[in-house]
């Protein structure tokens, strides 16, 4: 069994609320959790961990055993097999993000063309910016015409067969030219995913470098295509987030209110769900049933979406989805797509919680399905809210566990609003940020993102890494479950900078009132980080390409295929990217060398793997210092960063 933080710390989670719930249910033999199931799974298959098993054709399954079977039946080597497996993970991750993006565009179309639609364009400025970036005709100047043109263009981007994804032009010129030279400029995401699957079919692409290059291109079509369109169109439809305050952790569940949880990724239904829960008739219905109010809270990235735009409380991140139900306080959990544990359907059988699936793409056996469509979104949302209210009387107050822990956070940052804050009185500008890096008040910046995984003490790596970075004057931006972990740990309160940040970062946080860790949103909002990096280059003074910036990325508790795609699009964009555990390719020395060394010559970014968050922070800081030196910047202003 691999060494991990769970063994070292002896804890399943760094989060006291999660530990409290796990402790409360530990004697219930009918209940299990991701942690128990992970333990039951030990030892995990080493061939799988090393990425050297192949079952893509029926001559297999094959596994590489050095000295016995050095290749598959077809002759595929460990290098080929590991590379193929990895890029298939990228294709699946890119598909998940991008299908999400496509659905958001369909919601935009409903907003424009629907009869009595439940959606409208909320950010016209962003719509115009997107139209300009897409080079689309502004039509008759009317909002609907412009939105139609943007929606048509966005949809066409997904299946783009020829040419290049338009939004890659947001990257610095040098980056774009590098992608062009290396044959990495992506076409439409559908096209890249299909080609990735084709190339990794039995008997097609055999050269691991060539396979991995296609992985990079596929990931770029996600980051600068499907994912970026998802974020931008969501901002157009639901509004670009602005800084706001919210609460986070299981303590947001309320004793006297109907607790409804939304979990998954796509905000189209959860946006109207929030609206439905504020409906006076439904609140009155809840009051009649003995509840004081209707309390909507979120899990995972759906949580981040409605937190960012409405300040809706977050109940928890990925590993807390089962725990929320185990509190016995949740009347209903509504789920859509991605990161929803199949185990939920069994967990709810032990509690009064109703589980409802909503996406046409995701049903669970034995679980009620109330299908969402844009045409009847509000009606569906109201039906689900009502169902949750009706379940309020079934809560067993004797059996519930009520964790007290909840933290305050300031979230709602975007690539636009962060830098309004940082000093752009008359216009958004990255000048103050770049200047802070140039004069050494900030050492640099890091994006810490991604999932939880029971192979690592829950939240520990996220929070320890962030603490270590801010202590060393590295501004942290965060998304996904990592952002939720940091929020729970109190790292998203401006005042935490006074206790935990280095002197330079503290000075900036004090001057502009921001926390040292900025919540940038959900997993698709990693595209905000790409935009932010491009804007930093465009502002000037920090080189001509993303790879020159004193920045890094990290996913210190990663688990999903989406995280693999995200890691690859960051590296392909020139970012040094650190993961706690390697990708499942360790059975191929060549593939490992390519990812941690050779890839840097190709794209300027590379991967590093380090499980200990303090050592990981050290690697990031060393990398940032090298970049500063290469830029000829004086080292950081404050002695400890010297
Ligand atoms: Fe085995 Fe080759 Fe078939 Fe893979 S493609 S299962 S290595 S024979
Ligand atoms: S939800 S992809 S566990 S970050 Fe986006 Fe969290 Fe990872 Fe899912």
Distance between CA 110 and CA 161 in Å, rounded?
26
Question: pLDDT tens, 282-325?
Answer: 999 999 999 999 999 999 999 999 999 999 999 999 999 999 99
Ligand 1 midpoint to CA 522 (Å):
37
Nearest protein CA to atom 8 of ligand 2, as residue: 339
Mean pLDDT of 423-437: 75
Q: Is the pLDDT of residue 638 over 80?
A: no
More confident residue, 324 or 417: 324
pLDDT at 432 over 90: no
Task: Please determine, for residue 9, whether its predicted confidence score (pLDDT) is greater than 50.
Answer: no
203 C-alpha to center of ligand 1: Å? 8
Q: List the beta bridge partners of residue 517.
A: 476
Quickly state the pLDDT bin for 421 (edges 50, 70, 90): low
pLDDT of residue 423: 54
Average pLDDT taken over every residue of the chain: 94
* Ligand 1 mutation target, pool 48, 63, 69, 73, most atoms within 8 A of CB: 73
Tens-place pLDDT, residues 369-398: 999 999 999 999 999 999 999 999 999 999
Looking at residue 5, its pLDDT comes to: 41
What are the C-alpha distances in Å from 99 to residues 102, 338, 430?
A: 5, 11, 32
Q: pLDDT (tens digit, 9 = 90+) per residue, 347-360?
A: 999 999 999 999 99
Q: What share of the chain is helix, strand, coil (3-state, %, to 5)?
A: 50, 10, 40
The residue to mutate among 47, 65, 69, 81, having the most atoms of ligand 1 within 8 angstroms of its beta carbon, is: 81
Mean pLDDT calculated for residue range 61-90 = 97
- E strands, 209-310, are 244-248, 258-264, 294-299
Which residue's CA lies nearest to atom 5 of ligand 1?
Answer: 202
pLDDT of residue 124: 93
Within 8 A by CB and 6+ apart from 279, the residues are 382, 385
Which pLDDT does position 98 carry in this prediction? Answer: 94
Ligand nearest to the CA of 563: 2
Going from the Cα of 359 to the center of ligand 2, the distance in angstroms, rounded, reads 17
Using 50, 70 and 90 to split pLDDT, how confident is the model at 561?
A: very high
Phi/psi at 261 (5° precision): -115, 135
Closest CA to 409 of 463, 483, 469, 475: 483
Pairing, β 62-63 against β 53-54? antiparallel
The three-point CA angle 381-382-387 to 5° equals: 100
Q: Is 559 helix (H, G, I), strand (E, B) or coil?
A: coil
How far the first Cα of the chain sits from its last, in Å, is 39
The protein residue whose alpha carbon is closest to atom 3 in ligand 2 is 451
Coil vs helix vs strand at 174: helix
The whole-model pTM stands at: 0.96
Task: Report the nearest atom of ligand 1 relative to the CA of 55.
Answer: 6
Q: Is pLDDT above 80 for 7?
A: no
Q: Shortest CA distance to 553 belongs to which of 473, 471, 624?
A: 624
As a whole number of angstroms, the distance between CA 261 and CA 335 comes to 8
**Ligand 1 neighbours (beta carbon < 6 A):** 54-57, 59-62, 72-74, 76, 81, 202
- The 10s digit of each residue's pLDDT in 493-530 is 999 999 999 999 999 999 888 999 999 999 999 999 99
The residue to mutate among 320, 481, 482, 487, having the most atoms of ligand 2 within 8 angstroms of its beta carbon, is: 481
- CA nearest to 148, candidates 118, 116, 114: 114
pLDDT in tens, 169-213: 999 999 999 999 999 999 999 999 999 999 999 999 999 999 999
> Residue 618 pLDDT more than 50?
yes
Ligand positioned closest to the Cα atom of 305: 2
pLDDT of res. 427? 55
What are the counts of helices (DSSP H) followed by strands (DSSP E) for the chain?
28, 16
93-139 tens-digit pLDDT: 999 999 999 999 999 999 999 888 999 999 999 999 999 999 987 76
Can you list the domains of the chain with their CATH numbers?
A: 3-54 (no CATH), 91-191+217-238 (1.20.1270.30), 250-394 (3.40.50.2030), 410-631 (3.40.50.2030)
Query: pLDDT value at position 634?
Result: 81
Whether 318 contacts 485, CB under 8 Å: no
Task: Identify the residue whose tokens are 């424009």.
Answer: 112
Q: Which residues sit with their C-beta closer than 6 Å to ligand 2?
A: 265, 300-301, 317-318, 339, 450-451, 480-481, 522-523, 560, 562-563
For residue 636, the model assigns a pLDDT of 73
The per-residue pLDDT for 74 is: 98
DSSP for 587-617?
Answer: T-HHHHHIIIIIHHHHHS--EEE-SSHHHHH
In sequence order, the 6+-apart residues with CB closer than 8 A to the CB of 115 are none
Q: Using 50, 70 and 90 to split pLDDT, how confident is the model at 428?
A: low
Confidence of residue 635 (pLDDT cuts 50, 70, 90): confident
The sign one gets for the Cα dihedral 381, 383, 384, 388 is positive
pLDDT at 420: 66
How many angstroms is it from 60 CA to the middle of ligand 2?
A: 32
Residue 6 has pLDDT above 50, yes or no: no
Hey, is 554 helix, strand or coil? strand
- For residue 336, the ligand closest to its alpha carbon is 2
Q: Which atom of ligand 2 is nearest to the CA of 562?
A: 2
Report the distance separating Cα 380 and Cα 273, nearest Å.
9
Q: How far is ligand 2, taken at its centre, from the CA of residue 127, in Å? A: 27
Q: Give the pLDDT band of residue 429 (cuts 50, 70, 90).
A: confident
Q: Spell out where 230-284 has E strands.
A: 244-248, 258-264
Q: Kindly give the number of the ligand 1 atom that is closest to the alpha carbon of 73.
A: 8
User: What DSSP string runs through 180-195?
Assistant: HHTT-----HHHHHHH
Asked if residue 2 has pLDDT above 60, the reply is no
Nearest CA, atom 7, ligand 1: 72
Q: Which ligand is nearest to the CA of 62?
A: 1
Among all bound ligands, the one having the nearest atom to the CA of 72 is 1
> Do strands 577-579 and 551-555 pair parallel, antiparallel, or not at all (unpaired)?
parallel
Task: Give yes or no for a contact between 375 and 113, defined as CB atoms under 8 angstroms apart.
Answer: no
Q: What tens digit of pLDDT does each residue of 469-492 get?
A: 999 999 999 999 999 999 999 999
Ligand nearest to the CA of 458: 2
How far apart are the C-alpha atoms of 530 and 537, rounded to whole Å?
Answer: 11
């Amino acid at each position: 069994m691999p060494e991990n933080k769970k063994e070292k710390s002896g804890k399943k989670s760094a989060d006291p609320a999660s530990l409290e719930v796990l402790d409360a249910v530990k004697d219930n033999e009918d209940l299990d959790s991701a942690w128990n199931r992970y333990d039951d799974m030990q030892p995990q298959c080493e061939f799988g961990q090393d990425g050297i098993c192949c079952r893509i054709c029926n001559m297999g399954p094959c596994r590489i055993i050095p000295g016995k079977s050095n290749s598959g039946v077809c002759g595929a080597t460990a290098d080929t097999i590991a590379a193929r497996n990895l890029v298939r993970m990228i294709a699946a991750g890119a598909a998940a993000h991008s299908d999400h993006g496509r659905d958001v565009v369909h919601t935009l179309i409903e907003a424009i063309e629907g009869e009595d639609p439940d959606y409208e364009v909320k950010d016209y400025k962003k719509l115009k910016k997107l139209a300009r970036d897409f080079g689309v005709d502004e039509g008759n100047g009317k909002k609907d015409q412009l939105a139609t043109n943007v929606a048509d263009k966005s949809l066409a981007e997904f299946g783009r067969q020829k040419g290049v994804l338009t939004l890659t032009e947001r990257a610095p010129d040098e980056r774009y030219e590098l992608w062009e030279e290396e044959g990495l400029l992506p076409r439409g995401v559908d096209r890249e995913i299909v080609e990735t699957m084709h190339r990794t079919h039995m008997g097609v692409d055999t050269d691991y470098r060539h396979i991995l290059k296609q992985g990079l291109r596929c990931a770029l079509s996600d980051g600068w295509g499907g994912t970026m369109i998802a974020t931008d169109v969501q901002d157009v439809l639901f509004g670009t987030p602005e800084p706001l305050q919210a609460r986070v952790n299981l303590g947001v569940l309320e004793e006297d209110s109907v607790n409804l949880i939304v979990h998954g990724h796509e905000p189209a239904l959860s946006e109207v769900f929030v609206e439905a829960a504020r409906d006076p008739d439904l609140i009155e219905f809840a009051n009649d049933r003995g509840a004081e109010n209707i309390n909507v809270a979120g899990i995972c990235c759906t949580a981040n979406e409605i937190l960012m735009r409405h300040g809706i409380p977050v109940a928890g991140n990925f590993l807390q989805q089962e725990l929320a139900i185990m509190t016995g306080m949740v009347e209903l959990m509504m789920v859509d797509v991605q990161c929803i544990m199949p185990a939920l359907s069994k967990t709810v059988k032990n509690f009064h919680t109703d589980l409802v699936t909503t996406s046409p793409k995701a049903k669970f056996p034995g679980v009620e399905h109330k299908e969402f469509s844009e045409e009847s979104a509000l009606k569906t949302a109201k039906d689900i809210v009502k169902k949750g209210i009706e379940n309020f009387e079934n809560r067993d107050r004797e059996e519930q566990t009520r964790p007290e822990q909840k933290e305050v956070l300031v979230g709602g940052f975007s690539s636009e609003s962060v830098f309004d804050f940082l000093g752009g009185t008359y216009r958004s500008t990255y000048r103050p940020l770049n200047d802070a890096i140039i004069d050494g008040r900030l050492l640099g910046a890091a994006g810490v993102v991604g999932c939880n995984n029971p192979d690592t003490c829950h939240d520990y790596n996220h929070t320890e890494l962030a603490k270590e970075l801010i202590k060393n004057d590295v501004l942290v931006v965060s998304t996904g479950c990592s952002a939720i972990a940091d929020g729970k740990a109190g790292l998203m309160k401006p005042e935490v900078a006074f206790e935990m940040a280095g002197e330079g970062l503290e000075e900036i946080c004090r001057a502009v009132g921001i926390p040292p860790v900025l919540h940038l949103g959900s997993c698709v909002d990693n595209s905000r980080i790409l935009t932010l990096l491009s804007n930093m280059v465009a502002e000037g003074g920090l080189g001509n390409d993303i790879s020159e910036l004193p920045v890094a990325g990290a996913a210190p508790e990663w688990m999903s295929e989406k995280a693999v795609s995200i890691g690859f699009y960051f590296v392909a964009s020139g970012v040094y990217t650190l993961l706690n555990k390697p990708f499942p390719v360790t059975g191929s020395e060549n593939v490992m060398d390519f990812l941690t060394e050779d890839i840097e010559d190709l794209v300027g970014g590379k991967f590093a793997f380090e499980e200990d968050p303090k050592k990981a922070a050290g690697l990031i800081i060393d990398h940032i210092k090298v970049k500063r030196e290469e830029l000829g910047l004086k080292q950081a202003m404050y002695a400890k960063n010297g």
